[in-house]
Structure 1
Amino acid sequence: MSSEDFPAAVPIPVLATQPVVLASGSQTRLSLLRGAGLEVVAHRPGVDEEEVKLSCKAGGLTVEETAEALAELKASRVAAKVPAAYVIGADQMLECEGRWFDKPEDRAGAAEQLRALSGRTHRLVTTAVLFHNNSRVWHQTDQAKLTMRTLSDDFIERYLDAAGDAVLTSVGGYQLEALGAQLFTRVAGDHFTILGLPLLPLLGFLRVRGVLPS
């Protein structure tokens, strides 16, 4: 098979006037930002998210306050290394009837989360924080509400078989843009918020700052 049998890679168009830094290892957030025309460099912030969440919950913080605290911590950690850059930190939390959910550790954990969310409405709370010159210059918190249909144990097993390890990469054990669409009867909220980033408000602020053309 020759190289002519493969389509040429299509370059991602860049509209930004300068690179931005994403303080995250999330491929979804990286793809969203690059797809929107930003030149992005990703750096993992090295934050123990579980420890921060436990501390925030023990201190009586809300889901929104905890998501913001995590996003700010991620951004500030990376911004200390590249203070001149615009650094984006983000976090997403899932809350259902007072319970906070994290990414499942294994298939059994994913099945347990799906059973807990089955037939109920839960919230996805997403926050982004932007640092520049070692200062927080912007933040946004949005939420979406998702109603999951009642799932049989048989369906959960079939879904987990089909989705594979992808269920371990997302809180709640689903990706709405993929097989996770099979789980829901109603979704209310911004598409980008559900994917983990309040993208449109972020792009608006970057235009104000001249990082994107207006």
Structure 2
Amino acid sequence: MLEGAGVPFSVQVADVDEDAVKATHDPADAAGLAVELARVKALAVSRHDPEAWVLGADQTLAFGGGLVSKAASLDEARDRLKAMRGQSHYLHSGAALACNGQIVWSGVDTATMRVRDFSDAFLEAYLTAEGTGLLACVGSYRLEGMGSQLFEAVEGDYFTVLGLPLWPVLAELRRAGVLAT
């Protein structure tokens, strides 16, 4: 997304214990957790490279009053998608910018995802086509792939669904003078 928007960047993986962050966070506050994970990641990298502008990001999925994690197997993905069939869930994409070891901005955006009442045959074809790559996605789908056929409607920003509240991030980078206005 950043590359497509013309933002130069390099990737550095933040070595953080996401489970520890989740353990201390209210599971009913999925949006807040997305921001907190983004903040922790941005700070972890910023402490190693204090002069850099560091963007941390994370995404959470709220469904049925709880927080949903990535599926550990295709069987778990199948069960989850069956449970979401004909229902809505919420994707929260959090982002945080850090500089000099301090958070200078953070935010979250939410998309409402309305899953259609798909057939078992479609679900099996989908799982076969997409394979274990789905296990890297919190909802067991990629909207930019065949997963788009799982939905009847999406309310919210496309970039938020992909995992980053891009417009607010770009606005903050412009406000901070990192990007041209």
TM-score, length-normalised on structure 1?
0.81
Among the aligned pairs, what percent are the same residue?
A: 41
Question: Is 1:102 aligned to 2:69, yes or no?
Answer: yes
- Higher mean C-alpha displacement, 148-157 vs 38-47: 148-157
Alignment match, 1:38: 7
Note the residue ranges of structure 2 that are not aligned, 5 or more in a row: none
- How far is the alpha carbon of 1:164 from its aligned partner? 1.6
Q: Match of 1:129?
A: 96
Partner of 2:119: 152
- Name the Cα RMSD after superposition: 1.3
Mapped partners of 1:111, 1:73: distance in 2: 31
Q: Which amino acid aligns with 2:6?
A: G
1:91 aligns with one of 58, 62, 67: 58
Q: State which drifts further: 150-159 or 190-199.
A: 150-159
User: What is the identity, as a one-letter code, of the residue corresponding to 1:42?
Assistant: V
SS in 2 for 1:75: helix
Cα distance in 2 between the residues matched to 1:190 and 1:167: 21
Tell me how far 1:61 sits from its aligned partner. 5.8
| Match 1:164 to one of 114, 121, 131 | 131
Greater Rg, structure 1 or structure 2? 1
Runs of 4+ in 1 over 3 A off after TM superposition: none
Aligned length: 181
Residue type of the partner of 1:90? A
Decide which moves more: 120-129 or 65-74: 65-74
> 1:29-83 deviations in whole A, cap 9, x for unaligned?
xxx11111111111111122233223313xx661122111111111111100001
